[in-house]
Amino acid sequence: MREIRFGIIGAGLMGREFASAAARWAHLLDQSVRPRIVAVCDANPATHAWFAATLPEVRLSTDYHDLLADPDVEAIYCAVPHNLHQQLYIDILRAGKHLLGEKPFGIDHPAFAAINAEIEAHPDLLVRCSSEYPFFPGAMQLYQWVQAGRFGRIFEVEAGYWHCSDLNPNKPINWKRRIATNGEYGCMGDLGMHGLHLPVRLGWRPALLRAQLSKIVTERPDGQGNMVPCETWDNAILSCDVHAPEGDFPMTISTKRIAPGHQSSMFFRVSGTACSAEFTTKYPKQIRYLPYTPGGEQAWREVDVPYKPVYPTITGEIFEFGFTDAILQMWAAFCDELAHGRDGMHQPFYCVTPAEAGTCHDIFTAALQSHATANTVRL
């Protein structure tokens, strides 16, 4: 069993998810590699208590340079606000550590370019961007159907990621609603990777793009009795033209903080002449599909997808797959690629590459331009 010694920088919502996934590695079957968390850093010491109680042997710090200087740390998972991605990711690479960074991989296009230049200077390091939703078995099934050509001629794709909690105007402000910390991209920087991951992996890069961006709730309570500006885009609808060898098609990518009733839904829909299908994490156990032959019946079918992720687990096929399972699978893919290389992985679905994160930045930047000028932008 090859052990990869990890440090975590950013012990908030996502940092804890990763620590929890490492703690239940035994859930996975037939692994020849496992992560061990040896050090954790968060600038806010209040976050340390959970780690001290859960992983008492882990070294805790408020200064990420401690992890960079620690020869015991081989790889780092970094989950900090977007304005810190550029500095921290570059420092991590310069310290010679492998990196699983969080989306959007830089607060804007120049930040991504600076990170990418550093990545190119360290070809020996594995660098990937976190994005877990394609590891849901239903999403993976649709991805494999596209690869197998099962849809016939694809004539429309819709994908996205929808939240609803921001419909509540009393929800307090946080860093994700401020341009200085979340970035001009707003909801696209935060949620866009989830909608774009499968389209980008499938090579569906927009050639033309028209964006509609909305700010719906313009101020929020600051938790101290004041109302403060809520600056970022709440919702974004990107209408794209995709050029494909078998025929061009429209693709709509939507990222919404205010989609009534959607706690947190990633969805992926493909319409084709031989089959149409959709998956959403709102109904994580199901896919809907409509196989079609000319003149035949057009009847949607609903089928329960077995719990059968790309890395086998102890869980029976009859049970449901969830967010924490997707994080575990994604991390297994990162560790697998780090230990065995892309060609030696136990299954072929690798984590988001820097080039794929760069494509997302191209799309978000074009979307800002499109909205500002009310024009269609050519990518």
Ligand X SMILES: NC(=O)c1ccc[n+]([C@@H]2O[C@H](COP(=O)([O-])OP(=O)(O)OC[C@H]3O[C@@H](n4cnc5c(N)ncnc54)[C@H](O)[C@@H]3O)[C@@H](O)[C@H]2O)c1
Q: Select the residue interacting with ligand X from 80, 127, 213, 277 (CB under 6 A).
A: 80
Q: How far is the CB of 15 from ligand X (least distance, A)?
A: 6
What does DSSP say about strands 301-304 and 206-214: parallel, antiparallel, or unpaired? unpaired
Residue 47 or 116 with smaller CB distance to ligand X: 47
Q: What is the dihedral of CA 370, 376, 377, 379, to 10 degrees?
A: 130
- Shortest gap between Cβ of 101 and ligand X (angstroms)? 8
Residue 11 beta carbon to ligand X: minimum distance, rounded to whole angstroms: 5
State yes or no: residue 321 binds ligand X (CB under 6 A): no
Q: Based on the shown chain and the rule CB under 6 A, indicate whether residue 265 belongs to the binding site for ligand X.
A: no
Which pair of tokens denotes residue 124?
């020996």
The structure tokens listed for 113 are 């370019």
For ligand X, the closer of residues 31 and 61 by Cβ is 61
Would you say 253 or 277 has its CB closer to ligand X?
253
Choosing from 58, 75, 79, 363, the residue that interacts with ligand X (CB under 6 A) is 79
Residue among 277 and 328 whose Cβ is closer to ligand X: 328
DSSP symbol at 293: -
Site size for ligand X (CB under 6 A): 22
Q: Least distance from C-beta 340 to ligand X, angstroms? A: 23
Residue 118 within binding range of ligand X, rule CB under 6 A: no
Q: Is the dihedral of CA 145, 320, 158, 82 positive or negative?
A: negative
Q: In angstroms, rounded to a whole number, what is the distance separating the alpha carbons of residues 339 and 342?
A: 9
Task: Reply yes or no: is the peptide bond before residue 104 cis, omega within 30 of 0.
Answer: yes
Asked whether position 130 contacts ligand X by CB under 6 A, the answer is yes
User: Does 285 contact ligand X by CB under 6 A?
Assistant: no
Exactly one of 2, 3, 23, 44 binds ligand X (CB under 6 A); that residue is 44
Mention every residue, 6+ apart, whose C-beta is less than 8 A from residue 57. Answer: none
d(CA 258, CA 275) in angstroms, rounded, equals 31
- Position 86 contacts ligand X (CB under 6 A): no
Stretch that binds ligand X, among 9-17, 65-73, 115-123, 230-238 (CB under 6 A): 9-17
Q: Which of 38, 41, 211, 366 binds ligand X (CB under 6 A)?
A: 41
**DSSP codes, 71-133:** TT--EEEE---GGGHHHHHHHHHHTT-EEEEPTTSSSSHHHHHHHHHHHHT-TTS-EEE---G
Task: Tell me the window of 78-86, 206-214, 221-229, 362-370 that interacts with ligand X (CB under 6 A).
Answer: 78-86
Cβ distance to ligand X smaller for residue 9 or 328: 9
Among 47, 116, 329, 370, which residue interacts with ligand X (rule: CB under 6 A)?
Answer: 47
Q: Hey, what are 145's tokens?
A: 């159907």
Q: Are 241 and 206 in contact (CB under 8 A)?
A: yes
224/227 Cα distance (integer angstroms): 9
Write each residue from 175 to 214 as x if it is in contact with ligand X (CB under 6 A), else as -, in one continuous string: ---------------x------------------------
Residues listed for the chain: 379
**Residue 43 interacting with ligand X (CB under 6 A):** yes
Instruction: Tell whether the torsion through CA atoms of 330, 332, 334 and 336 is positive or negative.
Output: negative
Provide the binding-site residues for ligand X, judged by CB under 6 A: 9-14, 41-44, 47, 64, 79-82, 84, 102-103, 130, 132, 190
